[in-house]
């Protein structure tokens, strides 16, 4: 049995009215860990458990670590999660509350990941937060459920950091022989895929300059970048302010709390980004996230200058 749950695919009247299009939501925020990460991370942990892993060791900006901690608790296997200093205290508490060991190292996920790889020992299974074919397979079940629900969008909108969700969604679409385009959303300070597309090479961001720390990979996975030549994938970027405003507006419209990394996808609809122009039946993957509270969103909203909006 999978560790994740089947989530609803529902029609959004509020987003449809805001955009003048039909908008569907895949509510991954309702996973037990609060984000889609449990699909892929859970499957990877089950895979390693079957092969005799004695400990799961993961690097994470927050959500992947929460998923690994949850999976380890369910499977009865100890978990160590290494997070960067940017990971909010809220996420750190959620990891430790599930009896996982949490270590803080480095200013970015890349530094935390390097430390994680250096500490691996015999019997340890490394759980990568996004760059793993098993993880992509877990995430691809999102599309299986959408197809089972009878929803046939002409565009899928999702948020992209390192590219795990993107890789999984494309894998699911291809399994069902669907050529549905994907719009990958980022924030201005966490846009490694969009910048790589613009430069026609897989670039490394010098730093992450966004409150959407869950999108905080400085370089997109090689596999995700390669998908650009195999599937129709567009990119768009919104500001931190637009992402936070989308979270707050979505909370009012749907009574569902998500973090700014997810808000980037929702902002695509509220802001009617130019990349939506040719599409009328849109699926938004509400990837969720456990890194924000109403108080934190409100504080971010106050601190972000209005000039941040593009």
The domains spanning 9-36+133-308 and 37-127 adopt the same CATH topology: yes
49, 79 Cβ separation under 8 angstroms? no
276-299: per-residue pLDDT in tens? 999 999 999 999 988 889 999 999
65-106: per-residue pLDDT in tens? 999 999 999 999 999 999 999 888 888 999 999 999 999 999
pTM recorded for the entire structure:
0.95
* Residue 309 confidence (pLDDT) above 60: no
Sequence ranges of the domains in the chain = 9-36+133-308, 37-127
The domain defined by 9-36+133-308 folds into Rossmann fold (3.40.50)
Sign of CA dihedral 39, 40, 41, 45: positive
Beta partners for 284? 25, 157
* Cα 91 from Cα 63, distance rounded (Å): 7
The domain defined by 37-127 folds into Rossmann fold (3.40.50)
* Cα 2 from Cα 44, distance rounded (Å): 11
What is the reported pLDDT for 46?
Answer: 98
177-215: per-residue pLDDT in tens? 999 999 999 999 999 999 999 999 999 999 889 999 888
| Angle, in degrees to the nearest 10, between helices 260-270 and 240-254 | 80
Burial class (CB in 10 A: 0-12, 13-18, 19+), 274: exposed
* Cα 55 from Cα 30, distance rounded (Å): 27
What is the reported pLDDT for 307?
Answer: 53
* Cα 130 from Cα 291, distance rounded (Å): 17
* Residue 308 confidence (pLDDT) above 60: no
Q: Name residues whose C-beta falls within 8 Å of residue 286's C-beta, 6 or more positions apart in sequence.
A: 25, 26, 27, 28, 29, 256, 258, 262, 265, 266
- Half-sphere CA count of 235, side-chain side, radius 13 A: 24
49, 42 Cβ separation under 8 angstroms? no
Q: Over range 215-239, report the average pLDDT.
A: 95
Q: Over range 211-233, report the average pLDDT.
A: 94
């Amino acid at each position: 049995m999978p560790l994740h749950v089947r989530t609803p695919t529902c029609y959004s009247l509020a987003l449809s009215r805001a955009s003048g299009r039909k908008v569907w939501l895949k509510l991954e925020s309702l996973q037990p860990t609060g984000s889609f990460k449990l699909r892929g991370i859970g499957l990877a942990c089950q895979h390693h458990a079957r092969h005799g892993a004695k400990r799961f060791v993961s690097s994470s900006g927050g959500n992947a670590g929460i998923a690994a901690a949850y999976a380890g608790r369910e499977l009865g296997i100890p978990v160590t999660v290494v997070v960067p200093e940017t990971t909010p205290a809220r996420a750190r508490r959620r990891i430790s509350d599930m009896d996982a060991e949490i270590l803080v190292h480095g200013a970015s996920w890349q530094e935390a990941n390097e430390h994680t790889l250096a500490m691996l020992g015999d019997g340890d299974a490394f759980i990568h937060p996004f760059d793993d074919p098993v993880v992509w397979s877990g995430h691809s079940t999102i599309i299986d459920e959408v197809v089972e629900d009878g929803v046939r969008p002409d565009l899928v909108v999702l948020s992209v950091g390192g590219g795990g969700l993107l890789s999984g969604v494309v894998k699911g679409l291809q399994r069902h022989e669907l050529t549905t385009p994907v719009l990958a959303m980022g924030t201005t300070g966490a846009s490694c895929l969009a910048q790589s597309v613009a430069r026609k090479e897989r670039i490394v961001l010098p730093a992450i300059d966004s409150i959407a720390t869950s999108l905080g990979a400085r370089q997109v996975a090689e596999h995700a970048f390669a998908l650009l030549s195999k599937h129709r994938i567009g990119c768009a970027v919104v500001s931190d302010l637009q992402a936070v405003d989308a979270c707050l507006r979505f909370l009012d419209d749907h009574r569902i709390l998500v973090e700014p990394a997810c808000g980037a996808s929702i902002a695509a609809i509220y802001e009617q980004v130019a990349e939506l122009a040719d599409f009328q039946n849109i699926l938004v993957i509400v990837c969720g996230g456990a890194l924000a509270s109403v108080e934190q969103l409100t504080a971010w909203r106050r601190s972000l200058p209005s000039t941040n909006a593009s």
